[in-house]
Structure 1
Amino acid sequence: MQKCIEKRGKVATSCALAAKKLQHPVRMYQNRKTDMIMAGGRYPMKKTYSVGIRNDGKITALDLQILFNAGIYVDISAIMPHNIVCALKKSSMRGPGEVQGSFTAEAIIENVAATLSMDVDSVRSINLHTYKSLLQSFSEYYHGEPYEYTLPSIWSKLAVSSNYDQRNKMVQDGSRSLDKGETDGCVYALGAIQCDGTEGLLDKIWVVQSDTVSLIQGGFTAGSTTSESSCEAVRLSCNVLVKRLKPLKEKLQEEMDSIKWETLILQAYMQAVNLSASSFYVPSNDSSSYLNYGAAVSEVEIDLLNGETRFLQTDIIYDCGQSLNPAVDLGQNTKQILMVWNYKIPTIDTIPKRFTIQILNSGYH
């Protein structure tokens, strides 16, 4: 089935109904043609706006009216407006509404630049948030400290690392796009966890299959919060094990000087130390109230005769705070541009020939 937030429930319910009816195990699958037909389609939106600007390109006012056709029922998001009941439903997958919002912002900025006969990137730059404007726009849980607002430095670093000015001069007769904004990604693997009193044991960790046999109280994965919650539960469980093992470890170290992990666990087992721990972590209401910063620039070649496009180069800089697993974060950033931008299964033609991603890993946000 198409990969979307509510995929498991729909598949499981359909199979359960058929299995109950037939009294026989049921498995659901679809061929590639059907999958390609189903995979695709963001919510159509019609937007009308009036914008107030200064001569230097600074936007001072915006009145934006949005008509949003979300289909026959509301999605999992509580912020979706009332829906139209006579339209086919399109799937909600990875940043619903955010892509349309980015396109809206870019359309307004490019219109402002064209009206003032200014370089569009100058308009983008002058309209970036300052820390002062963050304080006015977001609650205290979001904006953090001044040093945590890294978007201006990301913007400058991206221009240098991507060689933007030189590449821009080579395509003065073509269009260009420099997009920035918050990034949403979903991590399925646990980060490397290291607890006080233990050494790094990543090679001794394996993750069991996610099912109700291993974990009774499971849930859906959404909103870039699952990985953090899972890792916090792992960390709490590790703290329990460390507390149990630490007295034995200190005793063995006095007798043997150094001690291997295998020896410690064997001795703990022989002395009936409980080597199993579980934890259930429920994040607080403000735990997901934070801002991540990133910027990207892409060079795209367009054939004006047939509309074909080729991605020549994409450069991304992303500040994810303190990365739980940099390799996973790199993979998530790679996936987002290949999978989400057009809602279709990616092919070799939709992958940039040159693809550069940099994770700042600046610390806690």
Structure 2
Amino acid sequence: MNKQSDISLATLHAPTRHDSGPKHVTGTAEYIDDMIEPVGTMHAYLGLSTKPHAEILGMNLDAVRSAPGVIGVLTAEDIPGENDVSPSHKHDEPIFAVGEVQFWGQPVFAVIAETREAARRAAQLAKIDYRDRPWIADVRAGQAAGGKLVTEPLKLERGEVDAALTSAPRRARGAVTIGGQDHFYLEGQIAFAVPGEDEDVTIHSSTQHPSEVQLMVAQVLGIRHNAVTVNVRRMGGGFGGKETQGNLFAAVAALAAKKWNRACKIRPDRDDDMQATGKRHDFVVDYDVGYDESGRILAVDAVYGARGGFSSDLTGPVTDRALFHADNAYWYPAVRVRSEPLYTNTVSNTAFRGFGGPQGMVACERWIEDIAYALGKDTLDIRKANFYGTDTDNVTPYHQVVEDNIVHRVVDELEASSDYQARRRAIIDFNKTSTVLKKGIALTPVKFGISFTATWYNQAGALVHVYKDGSIHLSHGGTEMGQGLYIKVAQVVADAFGVNLDTVKIMATSTGKVPNTSATAASSGSDLNGMAAWDACEQIKSRMLAHAAKLHDADEADCHWVTGGLNVGRKHIPFAELAASAYLNRVQLSAAGFYKTPKIHWDRATGRGHPFYYFAYGASVSEVTIDTLTGEYTVDRVDILHDVGKSLNPAVDMGQIEGGFIQGMGWLTTEELVWDDKGQLRTHAPSTYKIPLASDVPPIFNVRIAEWSVNREPTIGRSKAVGEPPFMLAISVVEALGMAVASMADYKKAPQLDTPVTPERVLMGVERMKTARGA
């Protein structure tokens, strides 16, 4: 079982539709809110704080309890176990606030009622007396207040940074502000708890991390993990927002279900969901970069300040990964980067597609841009001059050697296929004569590390049953949030047994079938669960093959798996026939598979290791047009070449590349989070928070997979992860907008646009350029 079976790979690498695709478009896909509710199902709703930081002097919930339809109220006093749902070891995220509130929208209590509407209305009737305390709004305010941290910072260092900076012929110093982002999943947070006998409770949760929900519910109820079963059939989007944020809702539903011995569902409105749940971390990065006259970087010293929020959540690993991607695809001879995960009186920020990597990359592209404009060169020339090498100049700031570097080929191919150079010349000519409209173009690369940096998460389990009619039942620890994980793993199983895809029944993820699962995150879902499922299949196949050889008095070496079944010498045994025969002869047709990622290790204390199994690469070219009178702009054309290794499912992977780019473009251009001077998030609904629309998709959108790429590591099917890396391709939009703005000063001053690059920021950038030109 050291190598994958030599059978037809048509099933595995074929463009295959999403298993739930027809259900999605016909409205028959069942989500938690579609499930039939048992008679007597209760509904919960959260009562949220209306202060960003305050002492709770008193809380009168009499009107809440006496409201029509109310069954009861839950507060911290009703929790039999621990009042905490923090994913970190700090245990600093209470379900219900006690003594003080630390952000506007923090849960203080929960109403349990006969209907959701009754619970929702009753939650507004609480009377809470507060005494205001000083509050910290953002990164700069946190730094000014002394820099209180929510978790331990990290430093990565290699080389003699201070000496290299001092001796550098040129310096680029500055700061870049990088905005946050709301997940805006189509299906909001939701949980449905059904009590069982004794301590048992079953939770249907919209979560990317069923085992963590299991742990949290057990911790809150004061029971053991084996009494809690968490089921996840599908989510209507996650993007990291359901890695830890579902813990709260599952715990509240379970508390109510066990207290009143009735099923309980909780689903907040979008407004409350957005105010009470964490988001992508916004950063302010201060940098000092030394470089030479050719644009080669000699040294980097940068501090990555992040708005952590009121508790640790995943801020530590998110800010760590920002540092891991402070290099993007570039070699730094000397480097020192430090994280500053700051406490603020805002909701605790959390995982989001890319997990800090996008913020790290935006910052390093800023100083690439600064260098290019200072030297009067194309930003692409500076990027190329600083790419990692393949034999030397290939050690990262965390001391991992880049062994699979294909960024040169990816960028060169895209530069040629997109006709980048001719288009750039045409844009410069256009800008010389156009007085109102200005254009810009940029090509940016992506190098993204794949694996959980928390090494223990790089494991997965799967359970495969073959029934005596030849049908197959597949369970694994990965969760489906629309990204196509289920269909990919089903393809792996169908391919392993050489059967049609419709032979494989995809089952809901359940902690009762596969224990101790890792979150479906870090782009590792297919890598981990695909290999675990393949391992289970190989165990069953070895038993079936041995049985067939014995039954037909053949040597096992003369037995070969082929499409449709097993060849024993010259005799072909169809798979279903073989399964029936194995059953009659008492051959075990079930197996639990397991996989752990090899080669990876990480020592956080020293900032050294090999945290990533491999890297995924990509590049994008974006062309834009801005209106210098209003700041409005259009993204006119995008060309992408992306590396997914040998694609498991090109149709699904193309969707991930396209969707990742558009979501990244939204983060960098339109999705702006705004808190008012009272500490309340004001962009908490579709009316005030603008995600990309269909009309925002570039009219020319050329996306290609690098079909020549094959993962050098023995991943499942030699594929590469595709969930997160395409997100960062959208940085090319920011860089193109920067070029258009810089044209107002004849490209002699770096545009230095903070994100999101809204029309307002474009207009302010234009005015800065006019001032610089006049000076």
- State the TM-score, normalizing by the size of structure 2: 0.43
Given that 1:195 and 1:242 are in contact with CA atoms closer than 8 Å, whether structure 2 keeps it comes out as no
Alignment of 1:25 with 2:263, yes or no, is yes
Paired position in structure 2 for 1:274: 588
Paired position in structure 2 for 1:93: 352
1:340-359 map, 5 Å: 340-343=664-667, 345-359=691-705
Paired position in structure 1 for 2:303: 65
Letter matched to residue 108 of structure 1: W
Classify 1:210/1:362 alpha carbon distance in 2 versus 1 (closer, same or farther; 3 Å). Answer: same
Paired position in structure 2 for 1:150: 406
Given that 1:315 and 1:356 are in contact with CA atoms closer than 8 Å, whether structure 2 keeps it comes out as yes
Instruction: Give the CA deviation at 1:320.
Output: 2.9
Whole-angstrom distance in 1 between the partners of 2:272 and 2:496: 53
The C-alpha deviation readout for 1:75-102, integer Å capped at 9, x for no partner, is 3364444431433433431123222222
Structure 2 residue corresponding to 1:102, chosen from 361, 364, 368: 361
Given that 2:622 and 2:635 are in contact with CA atoms closer than 8 Å, whether structure 1 keeps it comes out as yes
Given that 2:622 and 2:638 are in contact with CA atoms closer than 8 Å, whether structure 1 keeps it comes out as yes
Classify 1:40/1:10 alpha carbon distance in 2 versus 1 (closer, same or farther; 3 Å). Answer: closer
Alignment of 1:193 with 2:492, yes or no, is yes
Instruction: Give the CA deviation at 1:108.
Output: 0.9
Q: Secondary structure at the match of 1:311?
A: strand
Whole-angstrom distance in 1 between the partners of 2:386 and 2:695: 33
Letter matched to residue 441 of structure 2: R
Aligned length: 362
The structure that is strand-richer by fraction is: 2
Q: Identity across aligned pairs (percent)?
A: 26
Q: Secondary structure at the match of 1:258?
A: strand
Classify 1:73/1:304 alpha carbon distance in 2 versus 1 (closer, same or farther; 3 Å). Answer: farther
Paired position in structure 1 for 2:637: 313
Deviates more, 1:22-31 or 1:288-297: 22-31
In the alignment, structure 1 segments of 5+ residues that lack a partner are: none
The C-alpha deviation readout for 1:258-303, integer Å capped at 9, x for no partner, is 2322222222223222211112333346184322221111223334
Given that 2:275 and 2:347 are in contact with CA atoms closer than 8 Å, whether structure 1 keeps it comes out as no
Structure 1 residue corresponding to 2:579, chosen from 265, 268, 279: 265
Deviates more, 1:67-76 or 1:231-240: 67-76
The structure that is helix-richer by fraction is: 1
The C-alpha deviation readout for 1:202-224, integer Å capped at 9, x for no partner, is 34223101123433433321212
The C-alpha deviation readout for 1:155-181, integer Å capped at 9, x for no partner, is 011112222223323422322232212
Letter matched to residue 315 of structure 1: D
Letter matched to residue 485 of structure 2: Y
Whole-angstrom distance in 1 between the partners of 2:286 and 2:696: 31
Structure 1 residue corresponding to 2:281, chosen from 34, 40, 43: 43
Structure 2 residue corresponding to 1:84, chosen from 317, 336, 343: 343
Whole-angstrom distance in 2 between the partners of 1:307 and 1:41: 27
Paired position in structure 2 for 1:226: 525
Paired position in structure 2 for 1:137: 396
Q: Secondary structure at the match of 1:169?
A: helix
Classify 1:197/1:98 alpha carbon distance in 2 versus 1 (closer, same or farther; 3 Å). Answer: closer
Paired position in structure 2 for 1:204: 503
Instruction: Give the CA deviation at 1:234.
Output: 0.9
Alignment RMSD (CA, Å): 3.2
Structure 2 residue corresponding to 1:113, chosen from 369, 372, 379: 372
Paired position in structure 2 for 1:161: 417
Letter matched to residue 545 of structure 2: K
1:328-339 map, 5 Å: 328-339=652-663
Whole-angstrom distance in 2 between the partners of 1:175 and 1:41: 30
In the alignment, structure 2 segments of 5+ residues that lack a partner are: 1-187, 190-237, 320-339, 432-438, 451-482, 553-566, 601-610, 672-690, 714-775
Classify 1:196/1:331 alpha carbon distance in 2 versus 1 (closer, same or farther; 3 Å). Answer: closer
Instruction: Give the CA deviation at 1:133.
Output: 4.3
Given that 2:308 and 2:315 are in contact with CA atoms closer than 8 Å, whether structure 1 keeps it comes out as no
Given that 1:197 and 1:246 are in contact with CA atoms closer than 8 Å, whether structure 2 keeps it comes out as no
Classify 1:90/1:51 alpha carbon distance in 2 versus 1 (closer, same or farther; 3 Å). Answer: same
Q: Secondary structure at the match of 2:290?
A: strand
Letter matched to residue 442 of structure 2: S
Given that 2:547 and 2:582 are in contact with CA atoms closer than 8 Å, whether structure 1 keeps it comes out as yes
Deviates more, 1:112-121 or 1:273-282: 273-282
Paired position in structure 1 for 2:541: 242
Q: Secondary structure at the match of 2:308?
A: coil
Whole-angstrom distance in 1 between the partners of 2:692 and 2:256: 32
Q: Secondary structure at the match of 1:320?
A: coil
Classify 1:297/1:222 alpha carbon distance in 2 versus 1 (closer, same or farther; 3 Å). Answer: same
Classify 1:206/1:182 alpha carbon distance in 2 versus 1 (closer, same or farther; 3 Å). Answer: farther
Classify 1:143/1:203 alpha carbon distance in 2 versus 1 (closer, same or farther; 3 Å). Answer: farther
Whole-angstrom distance in 2 between the partners of 1:197 and 1:220: 25
Q: Secondary structure at the match of 1:27?
A: strand
Classify 1:339/1:40 alpha carbon distance in 2 versus 1 (closer, same or farther; 3 Å). Answer: farther
Letter matched to residue 220 of structure 1: A
Letter matched to residue 363 of structure 1: N
Q: Secondary structure at the match of 2:288?
A: strand
Letter matched to residue 222 of structure 1: A
Q: Secondary structure at the match of 2:636?
A: strand
Deviates more, 1:9-18 or 1:282-291: 282-291
Paired position in structure 1 for 2:386: 127
Given that 2:624 and 2:636 are in contact with CA atoms closer than 8 Å, whether structure 1 keeps it comes out as yes
